[in-house]
Structure 1
Amino acid sequence: MIFSLTAHRVLDLLFPERCVLCGGYLSFRSRRGPFPVCGDCAGSFVPEAGPRCAVCSMPLISEDRLCMRCRGRERRFADNHSLFLYSRPRVARALAAYKGEGATGLAIFFGDFLADHLRGMDPGLVLVPVPCRRESLTRRGFDQVLLLCRALRRRHGFRYRRLLVRSGGGREQKTLNRTDRETNLRGAIQPKKSIRGGVPKRVVLLDDVFTTGATADACAGVLTAMGVERVSVLTIAID
């Protein structure tokens, strides 16, 4: 035990690591888990409470059941649940570090929160990752949603299936408005050519951020055409 603590202290000195949120140095004692977030910052992440839109998960102020942007709109997915609000500075910072700065250990950090929510759902659920743009994969070097799925499988035993692929280039969704997002996605999401074991009837589509719902809707449309009967969506944050 003494040797183990001494070894950790030596490693802390030789290879200092900083929390991606507050910038403080991480040590064996201050970190909460196998990810670059200190205990204090990790403890500040609490899934959003209060009334939420039954479709997109946007917090409701005075609306009843549905937010204004979901009223009168047809969605091909049943519902979305987002754990956090992207407008929270630490949430946005953590996602930027994960997606843009290569802090891949945050897949475990976010995955643990996602697992807590998934445990309250159908125990036989199958996760389906939203496919990554080829350009984003090349630039980033990893598929951030697929990493989440792998963390959920390794640490918590959840199953996932790669049923979708993204064809063509297209522009990044985050640079577009709602109408342009829908246009940009036409034909971009396709079923994977080789699927073993059939198609599950109920799936949870996993993504990092829910914005207009255009990506989730496009994926749900393809999954429904493949034979999936119900598509729920789960995301880290809603913007």
Structure 2
Amino acid sequence: MNIARNISNFVFGMECLGCGCASERLDPWLCPACREELGREAKEPSFPGPDVACLFPMRPLTRRLIHALKYRNLLGMARYLVGRSSAVGRGEVADSMKELARPFYFVPVPLHPSRFRERGYNQAERIAAALASRFGGRVCRWLARSNFRVSQTKLSREEREWNVAGAFIPRLPSRLPQTGTVFVVDDVYTTGATTMSCIAAFGKDFPLVLKVCTLLYDEPASAVMDYAADCEMEWDARWIGFGKEKSPG
């Protein structure tokens, strides 16, 4: 672990990816305070649909970590986040997965070939590999992307659905397993347009159970604002208390 930490510090510096503060106690990416914060957020998985599990909420910390995976080539971040999520140990996601038929097949949401050449890797494949390693399943590239219009990032729900309609086609093996559970894997779940389009590509007669698993759930804007307001109120309360403790008399 010390070797990995030293290499990471040499390549990426001594700054915490969460708060940006310099620290000699990185693990190799987060300082102790941010590790504790990530641990708290790991206790808040989301289930936005009956067949959907999201391991973390989209918060400032998790957003920075997923951006590091997607845009800074920190491929080990997928294993790091999966290993600290409620998909392991006695977490809520882990408990729900115990009820599912095995073996597990993790199918990453595919990138269009032009996007793959631009980025050099598919972050969904890295997440799928981390999940497969943790649960003893395997990664299956059973989907391909037939088109790419624009990024989903700033689109409305209706625009997202149009953007990915018919975007995925099946690439199934000639001898498909008849038992087990298939997880469509992606980095972020927002409206579900992308992953639902993937599930639709398997067809109505697909013999295996289909689920969705993503690292993050992008909460509605109102929930994010409520969370920010709660944090601000908590900080104000701590500051007032600090002032009272320091006041004379």
Establish whether TM, by shorter chain, passes 0.5: yes
CA contact (8 A) 2:44 2:57 kept: no
Question: After alignment, is 173-182 or 211-220 more displaced?
Answer: 173-182
**TM-score normalised according to structure 2 size:** 0.69
CA offsets, 1:10-31, max 9 Å, x none? 868865443222224464xx23
One of 12, 16, 20 as aligned partner of 2:17:
20
Aligned-residue offset at 1:96? 1.4
CA distance in structure 2 between the partners assigned to 1:198 and 1:103 by the alignment: 33
CA offsets, 1:183-236, max 9 Å, x none? 2222210001x5154145531221111111111211111124461443221111
User: What is the total number of aligned residue pairs between the two structures?
Assistant: 206
- Please give the secondary structure, in 2, of the residue aligned with 1:203: strand
Using CA pairs under 8 Å that are at least 6 residues apart, name the structure with larger relative contact order, 1 or 2: 1
- Please give the secondary structure, in 2, of the residue aligned with 1:175: coil
Corresponding residue of 1:40: 33
One of 159, 165, 169 as aligned partner of 1:190:
169
Write out aligned runs for 1:112-191 (5 A): 112=83, 113=85, 115-116=87-88, 117-118=93-94, 120-121=96-97, 122=100, 124=102, 125-191=104-170
Change in Cα spacing, 1:37 to 1:226, as seen in structure 2 (3 Å) is farther
CA contact (8 A) 2:106 2:132 kept: no
CA contact (8 A) 1:36 1:105 kept: no
Change in Cα spacing, 1:102 to 1:11, as seen in structure 2 (3 Å) is closer
Structure 1 vs Structure 2 CA RMSD:
3.1
Corresponding residue of 1:219: 198
% identical aligned pairs: 27
CA distance in structure 1 between the partners assigned to 2:204 and 2:173 by the alignment: 14
CA distance in structure 2 between the partners assigned to 1:41 and 1:183 by the alignment: 38
**TM-score normalised according to structure 1 size:** 0.72
Corresponding residue of 1:83: 55
CA distance in structure 2 between the partners assigned to 1:227 and 1:12 by the alignment: 43
- Please give the secondary structure, in 1, of the residue aligned with 2:18: coil
The one-letter amino acid of 1:22's match is C
Structure showing greater Rg: 2
Aligned-residue offset at 1:8? 8.3
* Structure 2, unaligned runs of 5 or more: 219-249
- Please give the secondary structure, in 1, of the residue aligned with 2:79: helix
Change in Cα spacing, 1:85 to 1:126, as seen in structure 2 (3 Å) is same
- Please give the secondary structure, in 1, of the residue aligned with 2:213: strand
The one-letter amino acid of 1:195's match is P
